[in-house]
Amino acid sequence: MEKFFNCSGPCIPEDHYLVDIRPQFQGLQQLVDEKRYFIMHAPRQTGKTTLVNQFVEHLNDQGTYLVLYANVEAGQALRNQVEKVNNLVIAELEQSAKINIPQAYRPSESCFDIRSMEKGVSTFLTNWCLELPKPLVLFMDEIDALIGDSLISILRQLRQGYNQRPKAFPHALCLIGLRDVRDYRIYSDETQRYVVGGSAFNIKEKSVRIQDFTVEQVQNLYRQHTDATGQAFAPEAVQHVFAQTQGQPWLVNALGRELCFEKDAVSRDQIITKTHVHEAIERLILRRDVHLDQLADKLTEPRVAQIIEGILVGKEETPREEAINEHQQYLIDLGLIRIGNQGLQIANPIYQEIIPRELTAYQQNVLGQDPVWYVTESGKLNIQKVLDRYIEFYKEHNELITTRKTYTEAAHHLLFMAWLQRITNGGGYIRREYAAGLKRLDLCIEFAGERFAFELKLNSGRALQEGREQLAAYLHRLGLTSGWLIVFNRGEVEDWDSVGRRETLAEDGKQIEVIWL
């Protein structure tokens, strides 16, 4: 069987094209040798389990330690049932031992001689380590799937056994999850208060953050396909993949799969070009695979909406409140956002495209607009007709703004983008640029070889002057001579005749049409 790009579950070297992760073993080896208890965290589907599985195999091959990996995600369903969660974790450790380590090293019956299941994991590990002829190294995955008092119980038991290592507790321990344990805020039903993860597990000495692929790693990954099949990637195609994904591992592999193995894959006798990559990205977005669907689902969470909305409208946050800081860190840990040169930004251009589409999907479907109405006989987009009709539509259906329950501050932006998306789905693309520090959202429609640039801003005292300057700079960057500045008024409309008012201005050699909505 030929290898392929893997997009589900851990990568297997015999089956999948795989980025070489062995260089990361040295740092992990040092942590293990120094008897450290440490954290490994990264967003979902970034390669944590793949790395751990290979490192566990590497350690076991050395023979110095007995190394075990266990996934405790199933404990999430038991929530605050502390005794049941302890029992489940012990069962997971026992099952993993049966599958992965020699029978002589597996826990004996006496290891399960536990007086209280509230401290069952600690007792079990102590009993087992006392039996073993060599130190135990434990990797516990999905630790942050546990909830409330159950999570507090496990963390505190691991902390309490720390001083007994390596004779009567694991020599080294790695907890694996989405977030650093220091960022956990765990609500205890027993004490009716929040417990900070760092206090429940204050023996943590280091956090290892799994990084996204570098451009060199993306090149190496795709070269493996070329070496196996002879199908080459043009250099600009690989660069475009990296630019659009920022090295996010699932996206890199998903595009490789889309380009090389799916129904619309590029023929093996053709070189894969930047255009092919562009088309594959669009198919991924439209198909909404599981990874992207999970991403979209997160947008409904209030703490996610609070941060994403600020980025959409270009509002620079001044996060003085602890909760805002926590929300930002939560989104960073999810892999949704990053801190860039312009403040908070969506993590990569593909996510940046998905988010507004997802937030406007319902509106696109109910707008009742046929894209054909706005295309001329020569196949070009009649942009003035698009804008004229939108102004009419907005006046007739203003309730789509005023009755929105979520993302209310970005409601104007989202309705306008839904309108454009519905129409350009007939044969064009929208490219968006937005970040918390930009104070605007930039759009570029590409349709039938033409480009149309827009800047969206909320009305304020400086909206017109700032918008003119910002749009002129955007037009210079795109190499266009004219564009549209759309200024949205968030207050109650008092004069409907003024809605849709237009004026044409010149700024830095560019023609700018301002539309007040």
Q: What is the per-residue pLDDT for 206?
A: 74
Two structure tokens written together for 480: 């266009």
Q: Is 197 helix (H, G, I), strand (E, B) or coil?
A: helix
Question: How far apart are the C-alpha atoms of 338 and 335, rounded to whole Å?
Answer: 7
Q: What is the per-residue pLDDT for 323?
A: 59
Query: Which sequence spans correspond to the domains of the chain?
Result: 22-209, 215-287, 359-516
State the number of CA atoms in the 13 A half-sphere of 457 facing the CB: 24
Residue range 435-465, pLDDT digits in tens: 887 888 999 999 999 999 999 998 887 889 9
Of 477, 478, 481, 466, residue with least CA distance to 512: 481
3-state secondary structure 207-246: EEECCCCCHHHHHHHHHHHHHHHCCCECHHHHHHHHHHHC
Q: How many residues does the chain have?
A: 517
Residue range 233-285, pLDDT digits in tens: 999 999 999 999 999 999 999 999 999 999 999 999 999 999 999 999 989 98
DSSP string, 135-177: -EEEEEESGGGS-HHHHHHHHHHHHHHGGGTTTSS-SEEEEEE
Rg (the chain; Cα; Å): 27
Of 453, 446, 480, 449, residue with least CA distance to 467: 453
State the number of CA atoms in the 13 A half-sphere of 206 facing the CB: 15
Segments of the chain with pLDDT less than 70: 182-183, 185, 187, 196-200, 203-205, 316-324, 426
Q: What is the per-residue pLDDT for 467?
A: 92
Say if CB 168 and CB 126 are below 8 A apart.
yes
In words, the CATH class of domain 215-287 is mainly alpha
Q: What is the per-residue pLDDT for 499?
A: 85
281 Cα distance to chain centroid: 16
Two structure tokens written together for 240: 């475009």
Alpha-helical regions (H) of 313-398: 322-334, 349-359, 361-366, 383-396
What lies within 8 Å, CB to CB, of 162 at 6+ separation is: 37, 169, 203
Place of tokens 């049966």: 98
| Helix, strand, coil shares, percent, the chain, to 5 | 50, 20, 30
Let me know the angle formed at the C-alpha of 196 by 192 and 201, rounded to the nearest 5 degrees.
120
| Rounded (10°) CA dihedral 400, 405, 408, 412 | -20
Question: How far apart are the C-alpha atoms of 286 and 240, rounded to whole Å?
Answer: 19
Q: Is the peptide bond before 166 cis (omega within 30 degrees of 0)?
A: yes
Two structure tokens written together for 280: 């594959």
Find out if CATH 3.40.50.300 is the number for domain 22-209: yes
User: What does pTM read for this prediction?
Assistant: 0.87
In eight-state DSSP terms, residue 189 is: T
65 Cα distance to chain centroid: 35
